[in-house]
Structure 1
Amino acid sequence: MHFLIPGIIAYFFFKDNWKMVWLTFILTMFVDIDHLVASPIFDSNRCSINYHLLHSYYAIFLYFLLLIPSKTRIVGIGLLFHMLTDFTDCFWL
């Protein structure tokens, strides 16, 4: 879901510039850098949402604010979609 679905979203909703939008969506996955400061770095039984700093409810609120200016909207969509996919992972635990 982190790679294929953003590509489909980019293709269908941003047809004129879908490759750049998809690349931007993929680059928003760098938000996972906050996993590096967790101990352990990866825990298959841990929900990322509201555990890691950049996955906190405060950060998610800021990602919603990125939807307002048109220049940051695509980054906001990418970050929020990433949070959505991480949130769905929490239900699979």
Structure 2
Amino acid sequence: MVHALLHLLVPGIVALLFYRPRWRRAWLILATALLLDIDHVLATPMFDPTRCSINYHPLHTYWAMGIYGFVLLPPITRPWAVGFLLHMALDYAECWQLGIRWPQ
């Protein structure tokens, strides 16, 4: 539950700090990165509180994160990339909390 709340609060803080004039729109884009979790429907079971998402789900792989890094380059897609990478950082933090230091 706390993890899901962080997926909404952290983008809000980033939006306020770096996108002040349009922070509401920026927060909405950054928080929409939650849509990356759509790949959880491919897993069985769909939700496992002891499983690390990083490198388990297709949109949570290191390859996907590399693509998100390239999406940072054009200014028009940068807020989306920031949202995707924030999502990955929060999921990686959850892995650390679970005791998984370097997901395979």
Fold-level match, TM-score > 0.5?
yes
Query: What root-mean-square deviation, in Å, do the aligned CA atoms of Structure 1 and Structure 2 show?
Result: 0.6
Counting aligned pairs with the same residue, the percent is 44
Task: Mark the runs of 5 or more structure 2 residues left unpaired by the alignment.
Answer: 1-5, 99-104
Provide the rounded CA distance (Å) in 1 between the counterparts of 2:97 and 2:29.
27
Distance 2:22 2:39 in 1: 29
Displacement after TM superposition at 1:29 (Å): 0.7
Number of aligned positions between the proteins: 93
Alignment gaps of 5+ in structure 1: none
TM-score by length of 1: 0.97
Helix, strand or coil: the match of 1:2? helix
- Deviation (angstroms), 1:59: 0.3
Letter of the structure 2 residue corresponding to residue 6 of structure 1:
P
Residue 58 of structure 2 aligns with which residue? 53
Deviating beyond 4 angstroms after TM superposition, the runs of 4 or more aligned structure 1 residues are none
Residue 70 (str. 1) matches residue 94 (str. 2): no
TM-score, length of structure 2 as denominator length: 0.87
